[in-house]
Structure 1
Amino acid sequence: MKTVSAKDIRDAVAAMCIAANRELPADVRASFEAAHAAEDAPAAKEIFRQLLENADLARDTGLPLCQDCGLGVFFVEVGEDVRVEGSTLREAINDGMIAGYKDGYLRKSSCDPFTRKNTGDNSPAIIHFDIVPGDKLKILMMAKGGGSENMSRVTMLSPAQGWKGIKDFVVGRVAEAGPNPCPPTIVGIGIGGNFELAAVNSKKALMRELDDRHSDPEIAKLEDELMAAINALGIGPMGLGGKTTSLAVKIIVAPCHLASLPLAVNIQCHSARHKEVTF
């Protein structure tokens, strides 16, 4: 049995929240650089120049990549042989998120859905737990902003709609979203499972590296097909036109009920802010 200190978890989560909001992931930056070189439209090329400059300024000044520092979303893989000492794991993660947003001077965006009164500390953290074999504790953190989240959707297709129905819905959703999620975007897709699992998987898919090819060659082909269709829309960075509407499409597939075809589309903005830590 491995024991992990709640204080260590809290400190690591706080550091992750700050770093995620200040440091553009290396794979995203590389995609910006490639798109900047590939774009022919002057407006699109200029947007990518500005995005790269913004990333440099955030890194050098310690200011956030975006003023919307998002809600703290966590995917936690808990080994069956791990014990947390000092508090519960949920408390340690939530306390760490609160500390990170406070100490990093990050905008707090969590509010009551009816009164719209701000909770004041970005709590509660949104945490998805998964029990796995072993004695490792892995925490993945995402700062998910409101603009991109508002453009995300879950639907229940009929089984007969199949891949054509999936593709039409995904591409149509990106087209309808237009410039609102601050493209270039990353599109996470959950196919199968049930209503809530499809939604969770669509967001979890966004944690994959942009150059991570799906392990199933057939699913990888579907990701490529969707990517080509989305970029053919011509929305472009910030909706000003161009070749690059999305940087990647990532799919997670799960078995579903024979009467259903659940589908979720979760759109991530260009500030694809995420970090991870393993104990």
Structure 2
Amino acid sequence: MQWKRARRSDNVVDGGSGGGFRPGGKGLSLGAVVLIVGFGLITGQDPLQILGQLADQAGVTGSSVQQPSAKSPANNQQTDFVRAVLGDTEDTWRQIFQQAGRQYQDPTLVLFNGSVRSACGMASAASGPFYCPGDRQVYLDLSFFRELEQRFGAAGDFAQAYVIAHEVGHHVQTLLGVSAKVQAARQRGETLEGDNGLLVRQELQADCLAGVWAHHAQQRLQWLEAGDLEEALNAANAIGDDRLQQQSRGQVMPDAFTHGTSAQRVRWFKTGFAQGNVGQCDTFKARTL
């Protein structure tokens, strides 16, 4: 992948360790986070969504860090790679939104080390990369790329680009109102988990949107090399619900699915990549996932 052809984004910041939002000048206490998480588990609600709503009510704007610090890895190649991929997602989605008569709002990507506070609460590197709709930011610990290769057997720069593009896909869903509709369904008490649930459909749509980005990026930059597409498909395959459950529990439990099977994740990324059309990514209306 000749990623150095891409424009670098200015929206990558260093969140450090434990950095993030401070409603009213102070962050949520650990006790408050524990209580909220406990409440979410009891009521079946997503704790991150609850924390995100609280952040919205408190007028949270996101990470308090605006520029990389002097000690940040801002000049190393891995961070440069992240800036390149994010920059190209910005170029792609700005163009797609403009063609639809809308304006794309760039997300911020926060690099952190170990743990971070977002508008969705506290998260650790073990959680993996995530997008928080409460502050419209993507959070990434660069050590995940090493885990992606060593634990999941998904090596390669385009595999890493797929991960970033998937999280940006969630940002696109927020801008399009998809995330709000899923949250409204949760508040109505609907069950979101399961192999045919809304969470799976939301995640598979983000995979498809990542494929849409990859399609347009390739048309514009011609940056993919032999084996690059297979790297992304291998990553999608490696983190399917069925495969992860089999590895961790020794059995597959479809009722607990939240992201889709390996085959589904591969299929929807390929759909987005082949078509390059957001309209082909409506997983919510799809009869077969």
After TM superposition, is the score higher than 0.5? no
| TM-score grouping bracket, smaller chain normalisation | under 0.3
TM-score, length of structure 2 as denominator length: 0.26
Task: Report which of the two structures shows the higher radius of gyration computed on alpha carbons.
Answer: 1
TM-score, reference length from structure 1? 0.26
Q: Higher RCO, 1 or 2 (CA under 8 Å, sep at least 6)?
A: 1
